[in-house]
Amino acid sequence: MTTASCRVGIVSNDTSTYHRTESLLEADLMTVLMAWVATGEVVAFKAQYGGLKYKRNGKLHNHTADLCVDFRNGARIIYVVRAADNKKDLPTIVELIRNYDLKSHAHDIKFVTDQTIPKPLVHKAEEILRARELGNRENNAHALRILQGLGGRAAIFQVLERMPETVTWAQGWTAIWSLINDRQIRHDHPRSATAIMTRLSNIQII
């Protein structure tokens, strides 16, 4: 870390906890993790996790990782985050930590780049977090009934144009994301994790 690092502060909507990250890429990963909190997949996380030791050329070194995450299944994963074109020797450091000190801290350590966290995945997490704040159960119920009436699968615009006149397209869009967050519907795409969802995209009842 240096004083020139890009420090980004984000707030967890579920805990109102403020986390300081060192780059926009770390903030993107944190956003994805926050979207997983309400689903129960992630139970806790900590930014700037220090005290990781490794040996190189006979000398002992300390490293501070970017994120430490506890998952519902009991696993603890440490993440080291860096842009792919600026990774330097971080992958080597990760392997040295894995072989020397990892078992004292976590079950696994992963090196994450902007290729591992594609923008569509971050966009999906942002939409889910926004829908969690703005969601309306009545609008959700309308959208789900309309999708059922369309056979359980349809393009998003087909659902939105059938919503009650009192519901704006923006509110209908939020309802779609709320239903995705609740795991009642899904983005019907073979690569949904990395595909941007638009009004032309298909959704399907789970």
The 10s digit of each residue's pLDDT in 67-83 is 999 998 999 999 999 98
pLDDT of residue 119: 84
Pair 160, 103 in one domain: no
| Structural domains in the chain (count) | 2
Pair 71, 130 in one domain: no
Helices 169-181 and 119-134: crossing angle in degrees, nearest 10, is 100
Section 95-115 average pLDDT: 93
Whether residue 2 lies inside any domain: the answer is: no
Whether residue 105 lies inside any domain: the answer is: yes
Q: Kindly report the CA angle at 126 between 87 and 48, in degrees rounded to 5?
A: 40
What are the pLDDT digits (tens) for 33-44? 888 776 678 888
Residue 88 backbone zone (phi > 0: left; psi -120 to 50: alpha; other: beta): left
Work out the percent of the chain whose per-residue pLDDT is above 70.
88
Domain membership of residue 99 as a residue range: 8-112
Pair 97, 19 in one domain: yes
